Amino acid sequence: MLEIRNLHARIVDDGTEIIRGLNLTVKAGEVAAIMGPNGSGKSTLSYILAGREDYEVTEGDILYNGQSILEMDPAERATSGIFLAFQYPMEIPGVATMEFLKVAMNEQRKARGEEPLKIPEFLKRVKEAAASLSMDMAMLKRPLNVGFSGGEKKRAEILQMKLLEPKLCVLDETDSGLDIDALKIVSDGVNALRAPDRAFLVITHYQRLLEHIVPDTVHVLYKGQVIKSGDKSLALDLEANGYAGVIGEAA
């Protein structure tokens, strides 16, 4: 479903190369965990997948269902089924959350040639999704993410993911800022979406999240490259021994 080939990318502003020859393949139905120390390029990878303009791909390619997405803008990538759950979801004053959800869902439907949702159907879907994440509907009447706690923002990201039904879900440190109860709710939300035609790229620092969202594969990112891949036991090994051993092996 996702194939990243020898990807090199840098920050547009200052030319700093962050991704340096990254290779990664994720199959449909797979949950792939990306782990790595601070500054290894994990968040950058998520932004590049979503199409953020602050980064420039200088070499290599990203294939999604066999097609390069490098020329697609963020909206085109989203409507084609790529979803990024942000590490730090933006607060957008003045844009009501419900209005935003309606626009986003209908824009995606439009791009797929589907009719816009009727209001009752839209409300029903939002209510169901909110209930499954223990979210209060009153929260959704507020402007997007404004005044939400860290945990509420993360839940709101998963809510959007549920409603938009993407095929490739990139979760950027979704566990950060969550207490143990919220982590359970969010993980359950993600697990409920696991499907044979859907893949997940779960970016995290800690093994903790992977106890709840059990990965099929684990990849260690260091200095912009995948230096080691394995199954879920690799995450346990990292938790016990730290990154030093793996980095030493690769060097």
Partner 1 sequence: MNMHSTPQRTQAETALIDAFGDRLSLLPGDGAVMLKRDDAIEAIKHGLPTRRVESWHYTDLRRLLNAVPDFDPAAMAKAIAPIVAGSTVVSILNGTSDAKVPVLEGVTFQRLSEKLTDGSIAPGLDPYGSDDAIGALNTAFVADGYFVDIADGAELEKPIELQNLQAGGQTHVRLPVRVGAGAKAVIVERQAGDGAALVSSVSQLVLGEGAEVIWLIVQEQPETATHLAQFKAHLGKNSKLTVFFMNAGGKLVRQEIVVRTTGEGADFKLRGINLLAGDTHTDVTMVLDHAVPHTTSTEVIRNVVTGKARGVFQGRINVHQYAQKTNAKMACNTLLLSDDGEFSTKPELEIFADDVVCGHGATVTEIDHDHLFYLMARGVDEKTARGLLVKAFVAEVIEELDDEMIVEALEARLDDWFVAHG
Smallest distance from partner 1 to CB 181, Å: 27
Name the residue nearer to partner 1 (CB basis): 48 or 226. 48
Within residues 18-47, the interface with partner 1 by CB under 8 A covers: none
Q: How far is Cα 207 from Cα 86, in angstroms, rounded to an integer?
A: 19
Going by C-alpha positions, the residue among 206, 188, 213 that lies closest to residue 135 is 188
Going by C-alpha positions, the residue among 213, 194, 198 that lies closest to residue 81 is 198
Smallest distance from partner 1 to CB 112, Å: 10
Q: Does 87 bind partner 1 (CB under 8 A)?
A: no
Smallest distance from partner 1 to CB 128, Å: 19
Which DSSP symbol is given to 147? Answer: T
Going by C-alpha positions, the residue among 91, 10, 96 that lies closest to residue 47 is 10
Segment (H or E) for 65: none
In angstroms, the first-to-last Cα distance of the chain is 30
Single-letter code of the amino acid located at 185: I
Q: Does 92 bind partner 1 (CB under 8 A)?
A: yes
Q: Does 75 bind partner 1 (CB under 8 A)?
A: yes
Site string for partner 1, 145-184 (x = CB under 8 A): ---------------x---x--------------------
Choosing from 78, 126, 182, 202, the residue that interacts with partner 1 (CB under 8 A) is 78
Q: How far is Cα 185 from Cα 164, in angstroms, rounded to an integer?
A: 19
Choosing from 11, 103, 137, 244, the residue that interacts with partner 1 (CB under 8 A) is 103
Choosing from 11, 67, 93, 121, the residue that interacts with partner 1 (CB under 8 A) is 93
List C-alpha distances in Å: 143 to 55, 126, 128, 148, 224: 29, 16, 20, 9, 36
Smallest distance from partner 1 to CB 210, Å: 25
Q: How far is Cα 20 from Cα 211, in angstroms, rounded to an integer?
A: 30
For helices 150-164 and 180-193, the axis angle rounded to 10 degrees is 10
Choosing from 13, 16, 90, 248, the residue that interacts with partner 1 (CB under 8 A) is 90
- Contact positions vs partner 1 (CB under 8 A): 50-53, 73-75, 77-79, 83-84, 86, 89-90, 92-95, 100, 103-104, 107-108, 111, 143, 160, 164
